[in-house]
Amino acid sequence: MSITAETDMIGMQAVSKAVALTLRAMQSYAKPGMSTKELDDFGARMLYSFGAKSAPYSTYKFPGCTCICVNHEVAHGIPSASKILKDGDLVNVDVSAEMNGFWADNGGSFVLGQDIHNHNSLVEASKQILKKAISNIKGGVRIKDVGYIIEKEADKRGYKVIHNLTGHGIGKKLHEEPSIPNYRDQMNFSRFRKNSVVAVETFIATHSTLAVLDNPKLDEWTLVGNKGGYVAQHEHTIVVTDGAPVILTEANGIWNL
């Protein structure tokens, strides 16, 4: 969507604050011994307290309020009472919601407790690459050039990017045009438009370049890497301007954790 009136900005700020504070609270609430279902239930209660509705459930009937991935899972992890968090796990929480006709999306990966499996360097790379990518976004910039920044910065750190998961437009529904890949797609001639709202996200990987279904016979949602390894994701919803973007989900504090 594009911000065309003050009411648009007010609506986007409100729903973005709801998802940002929910994400931040869920990351703080997560503890070893807790199930991902318990963590999801906590997030659902918080979104409800804001008057927001889960976007994955509303849009796709996803079996959970939020997407929670653990270790080798890349995206769309289903909250489960049998999936118990452990010290050192690489956890990703993705929170998106609708409120009063406006939609916002954010996510973040983190290491639970002590970094006994050495995931922190991957997490930090994802955070810093997202920051650099967003700092280069303004009206008229080519989307593929920002994808190249993400890909180049990942390569400099010895990592890869997932090619078939992307950022996206957002605002009047969960997923809108344009698609924002994590690599330089030479066939993408789109540019960022001033006043448009987009969700920019990184998918920084240790081994894989594609996300594939983990067990399609049992679960049509959970994605893992095609070559194994781990993936860290971080995401902000922003408004594109002629200068520095407005980061609507800044309250999630993912760059401060």
Q: Could you report the per-residue pLDDT of 50-99, keeping only the tens digit for each?
A: 999 999 999 999 999 999 999 999 999 999 999 999 999 999 999 999 99
In one-letter notation, the amino acid at residue 86 is: K
pLDDT tens profile 136-166 = 999 999 999 999 999 999 999 999 999 999 9
**Percent residues over pLDDT 90 in the chain:** 96
- DSSP H helices, the chain, are 6-29, 36-50, 55-60, 120-135, 143-156
Sequence-separated (6 or more) residues with CB below 8 Å from residue 32:
85, 86, 87, 89, 112, 113
pLDDT of residue 256 exceeding 90, the answer is no
127 CB-side CA count, 13 A: 18
pLDDT at residue 70, as a whole number: 98
Q: Do residues 245 and 134 lie in contact, with contact meaning Cβ atoms separated by under 8 Å?
A: yes
pLDDT tens profile 180-233 = 999 999 989 999 999 999 999 999 999 999 999 998 878 899 999 999 999 999
Q: Among 3.90.230.10, 3.40.50.1370, 3.30.200.20, 1.10.620.20, what is the CATH number of 6-252?
A: 3.90.230.10
Average pLDDT of the chain is: 97
pLDDT of residue 100 exceeding 80, the answer is yes
Domain range summary for the chain, segments of one domain joined by +:
6-252
Query: pTM of this prediction?
Result: 0.97
pLDDT of residue 107 exceeding 80, the answer is yes
pLDDT at residue 257, as a whole number: 73
Residues flagged as binding site for a divalent metal cation: 94, 105, 168, 201, 235
Residues flagged as binding site for substrate: 76, 175
Q: What is the C-alpha separation between 225 and 211, in angstroms, rounded?
A: 5
> Tokens 């009063």 — which residue?
100
pLDDT tens profile 108-144 = 999 999 999 999 999 999 999 999 999 999 999 999 9
Over residues 36-60, the mean pLDDT reads 97
Six token digits for residue 24: 């931040």
Residues flagged as binding site: 76, 94, 105, 168, 175, 201, 235
